Amino acid sequence: MYLSGFGNELASEDPRCPGSLPEGQNNPQVCPYGLYAEQLSGSAFTCPRPTNKRSWLYRIIPSVKHKPFTKASCGDLTENWNEVEPDPNQLRWLPFAIPKSTEKKVDFVAGLHTVCGAGDAKSRNGIGIHVYTCNTSMVDSCFNNSDGDFLIVPQQGEILITTEFGKMMVEPNEICVIQQGMRFSVDVFGETRGYILEVYGAHFELPDLGPIGANGLANPRDFLCPVAWYEDRKVSTGYTVINKYQGKLFACQQDFSPFNVVAWHGNYTPYKYNLKNFMVINCVAFDHADPSIFTVLTAKSTRPGVAIADFVIFPPRWGVADHTFRPPYYHRNCMSEFMGLIKGHYEAKEEGFQPGGASLHSIMTPHGPDADCFEKNSTAELSPERVAEGTMAFMFESSFSMAVTKWGLQTCQKLDKSYYQCWEPLRSHFNPNWKPSTHLNLLLLPIL
379 dihedral zone (left: phi>0; alpha: psi -120 to 50; beta):
alpha
Residues annotated catalytic, as ranges: 288
**337 a known binding residue?**
yes
Q: What share of the chain is helix, strand, coil (3-state, %, to 5)?
A: 10, 40, 50
The answer to whether the annotation marks 346 as part of a ligand binding site is: yes
Q: Which of 333, 284, 330, 293 is nearest to 315 (CA)?
A: 293
Residues 107 and 167: their CA atoms lie apart, in Å, by 18
User: CA 358 → CA 74, 115, 225, 242, distances in Å?
Assistant: 23, 10, 29, 28
Asked whether the beta carbons of 321 and 391 are under 8 A apart, the reply is no
Report the alpha-carbon angle 351-354-360, nearest 5.
95
Classify strands 192-200 and 10-13 as parallel, antiparallel or unpaired: unpaired
Which residue type sits at 108?
F
> Regarding beta strands 234-245 and 141-145, do their DSSP bridges make them parallel or antiparallel, or are they unpaired?
parallel
Element (H, E) at 317: strand 317-319
- Residues 205 and 310: their CA atoms lie apart, in Å, by 10
Among 406, 404, 432, residue whose Cα is nearest residue 129? 404
Counting every residue, how long is the chain? 448
Q: Does residue 265 have a known ligand-binding role? A: no
The two beta strands, 385-387 and 358-361, are unpaired
Question: Has 361 been labeled as part of a binding site?
Answer: no
For 47-182, where are the E strands, in sequence order? 54-59, 70-71, 91-93, 112-120, 125-134, 141-145, 148-156, 159-163, 166-170, 174-178
Contact 6, 271 (CB under 8 A): yes
Q: Which residues are annotated as a binding site for homogentisate?
A: 346, 367
Residues placed in the known binding site: 331, 337, 346, 367
Binding residues for Fe cation, by number, are 331, 337
